[in-house]
Amino acid sequence: MASHLKQTILMVTVMTAAIITASAQETEISDFQEAEILRRLKQLNKPAVKSIQSPDGDIIDCVPIANQPAFDHPLLRDHIIQMRPSSEPESGLAENTEEKPKAIGQLWHMYGECPENTVSIRRTKEEDLLRSTSLETFGKKSYRTIQQVVSRDLGASVHEYGVTQALNNQVYGSKSYINVWKPFVQQSDEFSLAQTWVVSGSGSDLNTIEAGWQEYQQLYGDYNTRLFIYWTRDAYQHTGCYNLLCSAFVQTDGTFVLGGTLNPTSSYGGTQYEISLLIWRDKNTGNWWLQIQGINVGYWPNTLFTSLKDSANRVDWGGEIVNAQSSGHTNTDMGSGHFPEEGFGKAAFFRNLEIVDGSNTLRPPPSLGALAPTPNCYNVRIGGAGTSWATHFYYGGPGKNPNCP
């Protein structure tokens, strides 16, 4: 698998034998890998009281709340579960009645739901681990490629963005409605996503909380549009992961599966679907809660973070893709794969953007800036605050085109 695993085996071999044939090395490496994979699967997949086979091939395990992976984290061994937030932020925005998209659900619910006092967890399979470059990096973003946001080196994956940003000295959360699509993704090691980032700190002390939808074959094994979360407290270097693939996020409700397929998705010129996301800091505990479609899914414990312990200083919303092409530009779509100028029903959008202030109140961001480093490939268009959508924007693009060679 990874060079790190091979180096480990070679070191053991030198200590245990002076001479070893190449075929024997391969056998030992294979045995070692298999043992490590089984150990990791046992760590990730907790005993379930019920399992549900989803139409997309996923297996959803209903795991008792107290037995979920979060509590393997050293900082959470004696953690007392906060079953519900002490309070929720209130919004002064009126509910949209014009061009209102439909709320979205998850595919696995076609075949059941998890019982009370359990949480729904997507089972990790051996093939999921084998698709990763190494067991150490499974479920994590690449720190190396994160650093290459704007300038692209040949042969290296690069993240490209079409986002808006709200800068503030103290922010305590974010809410938005995110239009959900199934973009074209050119190859398995590329992805396309739409998300919100709650951010604090900088450099190696960068802390983020992230949530949205993504399409990422290398992680999930298919090109379905999936709900996801992420976090880091050291700029993606060592901490953090997608969904529940490391011990961190405490899930308290089994309605949504983190990493589960969202269905249906929007169609060009047709029905539009969306998902509402609210992230906020609980004033009593300091935990950062996640609410999806009005359901409190769980929280990131305050002890996980450094600069996010007290507040955030920035919120971002928008799209991101990975361009893994060695030359030229990827054809991977961002959003719907159409530029923001095409508008509702054709371009992807975020609507009713709000931030949480110090009084635990949701308010439109006082100012919003756009970041689209490659506007001929992917762009952003911010809308005004005088409509029923309040602060909103369209974003996206097709990637490679005559103006994005």
Residues with a catalytic annotation lie at 210, 320
Angstrom distance (rounded) from CA 136 to CA 355: 35
The two structure tokens encoding residue 359: 């009084």
Contacts with 87 (C-beta within 8 Å, 6 or more apart), sequence order: 282, 283, 284, 360
Of residues 339, 332, 374, the one with CA closest to residue 152? 374
Q: For residue 340, which phi and psi values (nearest 5 degrees)?
A: -60, -25
Residues in the chain: 405
Q: For residue 227, which phi and psi values (nearest 5 degrees)?
A: -70, 140
Angstrom distance (rounded) from CA 279 to CA 308: 13
Of residues 46, 48, 64, 61, the one with CA closest to residue 112? 61
Angstrom distance (rounded) from CA 142 to CA 263: 28
Contacts with 330 (C-beta within 8 Å, 6 or more apart), sequence order: 186, 187, 190, 321, 322, 323, 324, 399, 400
DSSP secondary structure code for residue 404 in this structure: B
Q: Is residue 362 a contact partner of residue 370, using CB atoms and an 8 Å limit?
A: no
DSSP reduced 3-state for 339:
coil
DSSP reduced 3-state for 211:
strand
Q: 214-217: which pairs have CB atoms within 8 A and are 24 or more residues apart?
A: 215/182, 215/183, 215/185, 215/191, 216/185, 216/191, 217/185, 217/187, 217/188, 217/191
Cβ neighbour number for residue 127 with a 10 Å cutoff:
8
Cis peptide before 264 (omega within 30 of 0): yes
Angstrom distance (rounded) from CA 256 to CA 106: 7
